[in-house]
Amino acid sequence: MTELEHTSTTHDHSGCREKAIQTAEQLCSQRGVRFTPIRREVLELIWESHRAVKAYDLLDRIKPKTGTAKPTTVYRALDFLLEQGLIHKVESLNAFIGCSFSDHRHEQLLLTCVRCHEVEERPGERMMESIAKELEQASFTMQRNAIEIHGICRRCAQAKAIS
């Protein structure tokens, strides 16, 4: 998905959600792990938009449906989805987004709009290659890599230019 598709006002997000759920089902089946109803529900809620969602917001939305959901239920589902590479944690927001590239291993470049709060995941291969070279020169072993950049997305910038 290109940035323009992602931020377009005509963007059909249901296609993103459906693809993410299908990919999750396929990957879990291939890996021999259970994609339980609660894990599916959490993933569907995360994919309702391209905005990062906090764990307790997920809990508030799940409780009316299940009546018994507790914080540990949501956190276990989030841990599973993170382990399977189906979602990413936006550390600076302490929130989660769906992974657009869950069918292959990749680094995380997350662009967060400070106005609309949408998060776009980008592959950023050239930047990640440069970082890998710097880490190699420093003899530094990376354990986790997520680069978060906060700014103004194209849609918000265009809206400001029009007003």
**Nearest 5°: phi and psi at 148?**
-115, 130
Q: Which residues pair with 51 in a beta bridge?
A: 118
Residue 39 near residue 81 (C-beta atoms within 8 A): yes
What is the total count of domains within the chain?
A: 1
Q: What is the CATH number of the domain that holds 82?
A: 1.10.10.10
Q: What is the largest CA-CA distance in the chain?
A: 53
Which pLDDT score is estimated for 11?
Answer: 57
Residue 30 confidence class, pLDDT cut points 50, 70, 90: very high
Say which residue the tokens 């995941």 belong to. Answer: 121
Q: What is the pLDDT of residues 67-101, one digit of tens each?
A: 778 899 999 999 999 999 999 999 999 999 999 88
Per-residue pLDDT for 1 more than 70?
no
Containing domain of residue 74, as a range?
A: 3-162
Instruction: Report the candidate in 108, 132, 107, 104 with the shortest Cα–Cα distance to residue 120.
Output: 108
Per-residue pLDDT for 2 more than 80?
no
Residue 89 DSSP SS3: strand
- Which of 27 and 13 is assigned the larger pLDDT? 27
